Amino acid sequence: MQELRFRYAFVGKELKLLENVVLLVDDRHIVSIEEVSEVDNSLLCMPGLFNAHVHSADFPLRGVRTDSLEMLVGKGGIKHRFLKNQSKSELKRSILHSYNEAMGMGVLGWSDFREGSLDDIIHYPVENHNFIPFGRPTVDEIEDIPDSTCIGFRSIRSFDADTMILMSRIIAEGGGKSFIHVSEGNSIRKYSFDMLNRSDIAFAIDDMHVDALIHITHADSADIELMEKTSTPAILCVRSNIFTNSGLPPIDELLDRDIKLGIGTDNAMFHKLSIWDEMKSLVKIIPYDRILSMATVEGADICGLDWGLNVGNSNFMSISLPAKIERRNIKEWIVSNADYTDIVDKWSSTDE
Ligand SMILES: [Zn+2]
């Protein structure tokens, strides 16, 4: 049993700021949380960051630039040509490099869109259950999808409509989750209205019953209303949207609604997998409390993980606070000033 003492801690799902906190920890899991009269250090304890949407395998392409989203990540584009030619051992190295980068930055879990066949997730090289692969089974593999498999659809154009519906149903019946990229660009929305007579968001919710929507850059009010009505969460990747010139999601409207939101860095080729930088990109548009929640407990919850400083949980870290910081400024400082260099220690539920 280990006794950890912190001047401050963000406790529970609400990230309530408590002072003078002592955690008893056994095998990296919290056994008790107590407030005491004084703790003589300047450490903050907070949940690990959670990257709710990443593509880890395209890491070696980092630095590549082009103005066209289609050229970058579309079918037959730079990224897909690269992934097709990556050997199994290169692929493994790429994913592990992304994983090590994320862990080094205090990102203690992710949902990773893997883009090969079922084999890619069965042989996923990261042995940490907080880092969840979302696979892309082929039509031929439908019968062989193991229980608990999660799927990450490229878009509503991945298969014909019936196959999309069938696949997401099989995933749900097996206890897995279905996520999908939606409305990232206007062309996929136009395609959806032309072919399915409604938005890709409406199709993904009403027909596929997906567990989360990625991007929603061009969602309209009807989509957002439907998301709230069906409790369908969204994962925002704002730095990616800026990088690919896709526009920005309707954040004000989303904040007005009771919709769970997570944060993702998207493609490892675009940026470092830094949720710190994602938080900074949101400071002018989202309140600090909400950003912190999206970057930790809320994002992890969308992916099915119990996160946050609670008895029984793990996945937290200590941050060195500036000596002169006042209590009321701590959340603001974490969101808009802190980064991975302020991390003092990390406790992950999976031993590395
Ligand atoms: Zn993506």
pTM of the model as a whole: 0.96
Identify the H or E element spanning 171.
helix 161-173
Interval between CA 341 and ligand 1 midpoint (Å): 27
Separation of 193 CA from ligand 1 center, angstroms? Answer: 22
At residue 336, the pLDDT reads 97
Q: What is the Å distance from ligand 1's center to 307 Cα?
A: 23
Compute the distance from residue 211 Cα to the ligand 1 centre, in Å: 15
Report the separation in Å between the CA atom of 215 and the middle of ligand 1, taken as the mean of its atom positions. Answer: 8
* CA angle (42 as vertex; 36, 47 as ends), nearest 5: 80
Are the CB atoms for 297 and 312 separated by under 8 Å?
no
Which domains are assigned to the chain?
Answer: 2-48+308-347 (2.30.40.10), 49-302 (3.20.20.140)
Q: Per residue of the chain (352 residues), what is the pLDDT tens digit? A: 999 999 999 999 999 999 999 999 999 999 999 999 999 999 999 999 999 999 999 898 898 877 777 788 777 888 888 888 888 899 999 999 999 999 999 999 999 999 888 988 889 999 999 999 999 999 999 999 999 999 999 999 999 999 999 999 999 999 999 999 999 999 999 999 999 999 999 999 999 999 999 999 999 999 999 999 999 999 999 999 999 889 999 999 999 999 999 999 999 999 999 999 999 999 999 999 999 999 999 999 999 999 999 999 999 999 999 999 999 999 999 999 999 999 999 999 986 5
Could you tell me if 53 and 273 are in contact, meaning their C-beta atoms sit under 8 angstroms apart? no
265 CA from centroid of ligand 1 (Å): 8
| The residue to which tokens 């997401």 are assigned | 168
CA 152–ligand 1 middle distance (angstroms): 9
Ion ligand 1 — residues with CB < 5 Å: 266
Q: What is the DSSP string of 20-77?
A: EEEEEEETTEEEEEEE-S---S-EEEEEPEEEEEEEGGGGGGTT---S-HHHHHSTTS
> What are the two backbone dihedrals, phi and then psi, of residue 215, each rounded to the nearest 5 degrees?
85, -70
Per-residue pLDDT, 74? 79
Q: Are 6 and 44 a contacting pair, CB within 8 Å?
A: yes
What letter represents residue 342's amino acid? D
What six digits make up the tokens of 31?
A: 């056994």
DSSP 145: P
**pLDDT reported for residue 352:** 52
